[in-house]
Amino acid sequence: MGCRGQVCVKMWDNDPDVYLCTHYTAHNLPDLVRQVILDGRRIEDNSYLARIIFCQMVQSHLFDDRGFGIDTCLYTDIQVLVTVDPDKKKVVVDRTMYDGDVYEYAYDEADTAAADDTKHGGELFVRPVVLEP
């Protein structure tokens, strides 16, 4: 069955959102997105950020013909959904199908500038806010 998940990167007003899909590594998505945001490269540019996240997702699977994909819709059989909204500088991690948790994080340039090699680098993803269902 795998560990299915998606990263939804919000696009501009009338453009469809981009969904980056994995069939086996959903448990890694929150940390992967966190690291991409902390790296601070193109985090204000929706389409480039989507590409950077996807490249990180597939970096050891470049020539595989299964396991990853790109779509414009939310799947119903996922365990983890990470939504990134570059315009609002917000990340929401929805693990309700996995362990019941939903977290929301805000970030800004100061967070990425403060990132270091420690486990949590900066303030990003350190203080999750549990959202009420």
Give the C-alpha distances (Å, rounded to integers) separating 21 from 58, 72, 88, 112, 113: 10, 10, 22, 25, 29
Do 48 and 42 form a contact (C-beta atoms < 8 A)? yes
SS3 97: coil
Over residues 82-102, the pLDDT tens digits come to 999 988 888 888 876 666 667
Domain edges within the chain? 5-130
Q: Bridge partners of 80? A: 5
Over residues 21-77, the pLDDT tens digits come to: 999 988 889 889 988 988 888 888 899 999 999 999 999 888 877 789 999 999 988
pTM beyond 0.85: the answer is no
For residue 111, the model assigns a pLDDT of 53
Higher pLDDT, 133 or 16: 16
Report pLDDT for 99: 65
